[in-house]
């Protein structure tokens, strides 16, 4: 088996020098792919509003305060502290913040590809096959478009790939414990992978000295982020998962509906990566295979229990952390007695690869030409026609804060933490039946003058009708313009709000 672990007395620099041309080739290839996309789409554009939450959080750190969500710290609404730190670092050398976020996505893509390559080499894959697996990882299941989303998805995938690489080194080092300390602050669900990996490291490591060093390194990776979150938000963990859980209120939904959510998401994922996901049975060593299987089971189980609809959000982005695990299974299959079976599965997969790639491409293009174009036009209208900084109720909390100049109230709670309590008391225990009342109570508490809402959200959650039923006067004043043939559901609308007469008389 070929691997690149650190030898006794060697350094990380020596390891980098040993494989510098391989690293350079992968970085160049990934950068070339991102550069082509940049030219084709006309710049650093992102398909999801959440990407602009990241950019807005960076703005708040630069400015020292939030002019849109008054009194709200930067880390509120930031799921990934590591992603935010990296964005801030790149912004020091890249003039445009959107380009900086795009460069971060490309960098995460390069790290992901490199992690796949070294993990494949570790289990004995031939260099050429390892290169095909890692570069193919950009295309597999449409992964490229998840790396382009401006969120922490690519960073999480890179973390999983490198976790596997470090876990399969011939001689494990404390670099894996450092990664385990950082992973929970890349994505909260990676805490499960950190715990599993550290368990293997401590159980299979020989000396007590190494175990102490590993635990110390774990703390060195985790403590800075724990302290940052605590001082900035008063909590040790991000509030974003809780805000979404309470708003979407899936936990108390009927079991058949929860099963349907999970089954549809998993079926779509299975088709997109068919039949290569069958290669996970070839993963070795056995301890790593068992740990990764437990990680997958707990991950899917927790989403089923608390947030099943979340598995379909943003192009099913949360499921993409399993892509490097599947591709590692392919590498294990190619370098084992199951090579012939694995090659057969690879040939069959050629007929399914276009499905996953096509789905993600369609979703990406629809969002950048529909959702985001309509949203940017609506925000432009707000800036030009509402110069007095009115208070606006929103459900997509990113772009309107990044590019707009109004006071904002996030009805979901990602950027307005006080809204979470309303959904926790009303929306969540009622499985969404009292969501309209919770939103109306949020509106009464903050007295917004306008509502900015995507038609799809309005139709799904009855935002306008719910406010009207609670006595609010709601009048549409503008609809954001988008590309031709954009579905009506992808258009953002601006509504003027007037609170109920009873509330006016009481005030």
Question: Domain extents for the chain?
Answer: 12-43+75-351, 361-506
* pLDDT value, residue 6: 38
* pLDDT value, residue 1: 37
Is the pLDDT at 344 greater than 90, yes or no? yes
Distance CA 351, CA 445 (A): 54
Asked if residues 368 and 47 have their Cβ atoms less than 8 Å apart, the reply is yes
324 burial via Cβ count (<10 Å: 0-12, 13-18, 19+):
buried
Mean pLDDT on 456-467:
95
Q: With bands split at pLDDT 50, 70 and 90, how would you rate the model's confidence at 2? A: very low
Is the pLDDT at 15 greater than 90, yes or no? no
Which of 144, 178, 147 lies closest to 163 in space, CA to CA? 178
Tell me the angle at which helices 286-306 and 153-167 cross, rounded to the nearest 10 degrees.
Answer: 150
* pLDDT value, residue 503: 53
Mean pLDDT on 396-421:
95
Distance CA 19, CA 321 (A): 26
> In 3-state terms, what secondary structure has residue 478?
strand
* pLDDT value, residue 239: 78
Is the pLDDT at 507 greater than 80, yes or no? no
Q: Which two tokens stand for residue 58?
A: 């960076």
* pLDDT value, residue 21: 76
Are β-strands 473-479 and 407-410 bridged in parallel, bridged antiparallel, or unpaired?
unpaired
* pLDDT value, residue 24: 85
Instruction: Pick the range with the lowest mean pLDDT from 192-196, 354-358, 391-395, 497-501.
Output: 497-501
- CATH of the domain spanning 361-506: 3.40.50
Distance CA 272, CA 322 (A): 12
Q: Is the dihedral of CA 242, 246, 248, 251 positive or negative?
A: positive
Q: What is the pLDDT of residues 249-269, one digit of tens each?
A: 999 989 999 999 999 999 999
CB neighbours of 337 closer than 8 A, spacing ≥ 6?
Answer: none
* pLDDT value, residue 13: 55
Q: With bands split at pLDDT 50, 70 and 90, how would you rate the model's confidence at 463? A: very high
> Of all residues in the chain, what percent carry a pLDDT higher than 70?
95
* pLDDT value, residue 400: 97
Question: Which letter, b or e, does each residue of 349-379 get, where b requires 16 or more Cβ atoms within 10 Å of its Cβ?
Answer: beebbebbbebbeebbebbbbbbbbbbbbbb
Q: What is the pLDDT of residues 275-296, one digit of tens each?
A: 999 999 999 999 999 999 999 9
Mean pLDDT for the chain overall: 92
Mean pLDDT on 24-48:
92
* pLDDT value, residue 23: 80
Is the pLDDT at 140 greater than 90, yes or no? yes
* pLDDT value, residue 17: 63
Mean pLDDT on 131-140:
95
Mean pLDDT on 170-184:
94
* pLDDT value, residue 18: 65
Q: Which position has the token pair 């175990």?
A: 211
Mean pLDDT on 167-188:
94
* pLDDT value, residue 387: 86
Q: With bands split at pLDDT 50, 70 and 90, how would you rate the model's confidence at 14? A: low
Mean pLDDT on 373-398:
95
Q: Which position has the token pair 């939103």?
A: 439
* pLDDT value, residue 86: 98
* pLDDT value, residue 22: 78
Q: What is the pLDDT of residues 199-242, one digit of tens each?
A: 999 998 778 999 999 999 999 999 999 999 999 988 888 878 88
């Amino acid at each position: 088996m070929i691997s690149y672990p650190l030898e006794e007395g060697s350094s990380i620099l020596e390891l980098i020098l040993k494989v510098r041309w391989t690293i350079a080739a992968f970085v160049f290839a990934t950068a070339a792919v991102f550069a082509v996309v940049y030219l084709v789409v006309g710049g650093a554009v992102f398909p999801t509003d959440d990407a602009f939450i990241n950019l807005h959080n960076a703005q708040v750190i630069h400015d020292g305060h939030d002019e849109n969500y008054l009194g709200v710290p930067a880390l509120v609404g930031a799921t990934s502290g590591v992603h935010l730190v990296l964005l801030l670092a790149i912004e020091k050398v890249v003039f445009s913040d959107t380009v900086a976020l795009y460069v971060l996505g490309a960098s995460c893509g390069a790290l992901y590809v490199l992690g796949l390559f070294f993990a494949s080499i570790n289990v004995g894959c031939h260099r050429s096959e390892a290169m095909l697996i890692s570069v193919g990882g950009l295309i597999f299941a449409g992964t490229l478009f998840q790396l382009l989303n401006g969120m922490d998805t690519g960073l999480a995938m890179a973390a999983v790939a490198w976790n596997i690489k470090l876990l399969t080194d011939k001689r494990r080092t404390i670099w894996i414990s450092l990664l385990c300390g950082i992973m929970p602050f890349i994505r909260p669900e990676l805490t499960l992978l950190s715990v599993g990996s550290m368990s293997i490291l401590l159980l299979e490591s020989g000396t007590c000295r190494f175990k102490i060093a590993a635990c110390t390194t774990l703390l060195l990776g985790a403590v800075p982020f724990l302290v940052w979150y605590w001082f900035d938000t008063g909590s040790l963990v991000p509030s974003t998962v809780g805000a979404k859980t309470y708003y979407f209120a899936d936990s108390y939904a009927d079991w058949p509906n929860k099963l349907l959510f999970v089954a549809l998401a998993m079926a779509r994922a299975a088709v997109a990566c068919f039949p290569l996901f069958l290669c996970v049975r070839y993963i070795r060593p056995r301890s790593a295979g068992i740990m990764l299987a437990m990680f997958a089971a707990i991950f899917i189980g927790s989403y089923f229990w608390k947030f099943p609809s979340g598995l379909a959000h943003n192009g099913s982005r949360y499921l993409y952390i399993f892509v490097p695990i599947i591709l590692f299974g392919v590498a294990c299959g190619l370098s084992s007695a199951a090579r012939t079976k694995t090659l057969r599965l690879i040939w069959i997969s050629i007929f399914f690869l276009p499905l996953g790639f096509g789905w993600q491409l369609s979703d990406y293009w629809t969002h950048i030409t529909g959702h985001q174009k309509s949203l940017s036009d609506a925000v432009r209208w707000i800036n030009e026609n509402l110069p007095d900084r009115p208070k606006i109720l929103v459900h997509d909390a990113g772009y309107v804060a990044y590019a707009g100049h109004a006071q904002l109230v996030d009805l979901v709670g990602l950027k307005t933490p006080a809204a979470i309590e309303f959904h926790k008391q009303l929306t969540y225990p009622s499985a969404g039946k009292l969501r309209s009342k919770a939103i109306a109570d949020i509106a009464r508490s903050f007295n917004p003058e306008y509502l900015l809402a995507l038609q799809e959200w309005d139709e799904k959650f009855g935002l306008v009708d719910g406010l009207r039923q609670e006595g609010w006067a709601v009048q549409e004043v503008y609809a954001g313009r988008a590309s031709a043939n954009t579905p009506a559901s992808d258009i953002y609308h601006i509504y003027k709000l007037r609170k109920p007469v009873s509330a006016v008389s009481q005030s």
